[in-house]
Amino acid sequence: MADMPYRRRPSRVSPFPAVISTRVIDVDGMPVEVTRKRIRNMYLRIKPPSGEVVVSAPARMSERMIVDFVRGRREWIDRQRERMAKARHEAMAGFDEGEFDPSSVGGVGGVEEAGDDLFSASGLDPFDGDTRSVDPVPLASPSSDSPASNDGGDADFDRTHVWTDDRRKHAEAAINAALPGLLDKWTPIVGKSPTHITLRLMTSRWGSCTPKTGRIRLNLQLGLMEPEFLEYVLVHELTHLWERGHGERFRARMDAYLPRWRDLRRELNRRIVL
């Protein structure tokens, strides 16, 4: 996908947890990707569309504690993976019939747990790499997957079947046609503009942003969905050029820019990321 250059103003940047190591462990026959970071709490996440189980853990936490943490949430993991598999197969059925109606899919995006509190991932990530910010609000992103009997994810899911060349071109053309008008509308309101906007297929988020460079990435699937979702994701990522996380200041800005953003996020987070 081609990059679209845009000028931007400087943005404030805050440090975020660096990845120390990543490896896959086996928990009762289920592969779990463990990423160690300089963080205080442990987070468990189910990544769409494959249903991969991912844990972010403090650098010095023992593997035994991580295993116990995952085991204690196995029923929850299995439920989320089953829900995601069902939602994805419903979406796939639409593709098989030659049409895709995103609004008909009551799916789920990535689901994350932090300690004993359930958080829903917004599906929008302000940073590159493995760092992920989540909002403590209802989901699904987020913004979880395959049947419990299939611990490696859903082997029937084939993204090349979903994302044909024609469908990619259609989605890219739709986004590229909408972006100039959206940027003309929103960059004066938000007071920030990106250096580049890149369109790509993403498996677990609708958009991402690197404040340091001003780069924004948008999920190509937005080109097949209602235009209001592309607008919301763009405003969300532009706001991250001001605010690193999803805290009070971020929410205050979003309230001022796009009062309906919570409703849009809630509906978007019901959609399955393909």
The verdict on residue 66 lying in a domain is yes
Rounded Cα distance, 98 and 251, in Å: 39
Q: What is the pLDDT of residues 96-127, one digit of tens each?
A: 555 555 544 444 445 555 543 333 333 444 43
Altogether, the residues listed in the chain come to a count of: 274
Q: Are residues 39 and 126 in the same domain?
A: yes
The structure tokens listed for 238 are 């532009």
81 and 213: one domain? no
Confidence at residue 269, expressed as pLDDT on a 0 to 100 scale: 78
| Residues 144 and 84 sit within 8 Å (Cβ to Cβ) | yes
What is the CATH classification number for the domain harbouring 224?
Answer: 3.30.2010.10
Residues 81 and 135 in one domain: yes
Neighbours of 259 (CB within 10 A): 9
In this prediction, the residues of the chain whose per-residue pLDDT falls under 70 are: 1-17, 48-49, 91-159
Range of the domain at 71: 19-161
At 241 the pLDDT is 96
Could you give the C-alpha distances from 167 to 28, 99, 159, 226, 246, in angstroms and in order? 39, 11, 12, 15, 32
Asked whether residue 191 falls in the same domain as residue 153, the answer is no
Report how many domains make up the chain: 2
In a domain, 175, yes or no: yes
Residue 78 lies in a domain: yes
| Domain C-terminal end among 110, 137, 161 | 161
Is the same domain home to 55 and 148? yes
pLDDT tens per residue, range 210-237: 999 999 999 999 999 999 999 999 999 9
103, burial (CB in 10 Å: exposed 0-12, middle 13-18, buried 19+): exposed
Q: What is the pLDDT of residue 17?
A: 66
CA–CA gap between residue 13 and residue 72 (Å, rounded): 37
Q: Are residues 156 and 23 in the same domain?
A: yes
In a domain, 11, yes or no: no
- If asked whether residues 121 and 231 sit together in one domain, one would say no
Nearest Cα to 245, choosing from 54, 14, 38?
Answer: 14
Both 200 and 257 in a single domain?
Answer: yes
pTM given for the model: 0.60
Torsion angle defined by CA atoms of residues 28, 34, 38 and 39, in that order, rounded to the nearest 10 degrees = -50
What is the residue-wise DSSP string for 160-195? Answer: HHHS-HHHHHHHHHHHHHHHHHHHHHHHHHHS---S
- Is 150 in the same domain as 192? no
The domain boundary, picked from 126, 161, 196, lies at 161
The domain boundary residue, chosen from 161, 182, 204? 161
Looking at the domain assignment, is residue 1 inside a domain? Answer: no
**Cα first-last separation, the chain:** 17
Per-residue pLDDT at 162: 75
pLDDT value for 98: 52
Note whether 53 and 32 are within 8 A (CB). yes
Same domain, 75 and 89: yes
How far is it, in rounded angstroms, from Cα 269 to Cα 29? 30
For residue 238, being part of any structural domain is answered with: yes
> What pLDDT shows up at residue 57?
95
- Cite the beta strand spans of the chain per DSSP E: 4-5, 19-27, 30-37, 43-47, 52-58, 111-114, 117-120, 124-125, 196-200, 207-210, 215-219
Distance separating alpha carbons of residues 212 and 127, to the nearest angstrom? 9
Token couple for 170 = 């259609």
Q: Which amino acid is at 54?
A: V
Residues 151 and 173 in one domain: no
Among 193, 221, 242, smallest CA distance to 12 is for: 242
Kindly state whether residues 151 and 218 are assigned to the same domain.
Answer: no
- Flag whether 56 is in a domain: yes
Residue 14 confidence (pLDDT): 46
Does residue 6 fall inside a structural domain? no
